[in-house]
């Protein structure tokens, strides 16, 4: 089975958050409160991880493009 990348995990977690938030809005309880906050924490963690991946890819790609331009 192919493992999801961070972007896919972020989307899946957002969809789970969306469902949990609907439950919370319909029935404000301790259980729904905890569930929606758990997904929000996970989104925050995944968003940070994705930001780091994007920054690393951008930095590496920028370095490769700069190096190849100097070779000409």
pLDDT digits (tens, 9 = 90+) for 23-40: 999 999 999 999 999 999
56: pLDDT confidence band, cut at 50, 70 and 90?
Answer: very high
Q: Is the pLDDT of residue 72 over 70?
A: no
pTM to 2 decimal places:
0.79
For residue 39, tell me if it sits in a domain.
yes
The answer to whether the CB of 25 falls within 8 A of the CB of 58 is: no
63: pLDDT confidence band, cut at 50, 70 and 90?
Answer: confident
Residue range(s) defining the domain that contains residue 20: 6-63
For residue 71, tell me if it sits in a domain.
no
For residue 72, tell me if it sits in a domain.
no
Tally of structural domains, the chain: 1
For residue 14, tell me if it sits in a domain.
yes
- Between helices 6-26 and 30-71, what is the axis angle to 10°? 160
For residue 70, tell me if it sits in a domain.
no
For residue 10, tell me if it sits in a domain.
yes
Q: 4 vs 5, which has greater pLDDT?
A: 5
């Amino acid at each position: 089975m192919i493992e999801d990348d961070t972007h896919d995990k972020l989307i899946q977690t957002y969809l789970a958050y969306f469902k949990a938030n609907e439950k919370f809005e319909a029935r404000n309880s301790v259980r729904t409160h905890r569930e929606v906050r758990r997904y929000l924490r996970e989104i925050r963690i995944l968003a940070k991880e994705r930001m780091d991946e994007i920054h690393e890819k951008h930095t590496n790609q920028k370095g490769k493009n700069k190096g190849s331009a100097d070779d000409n």
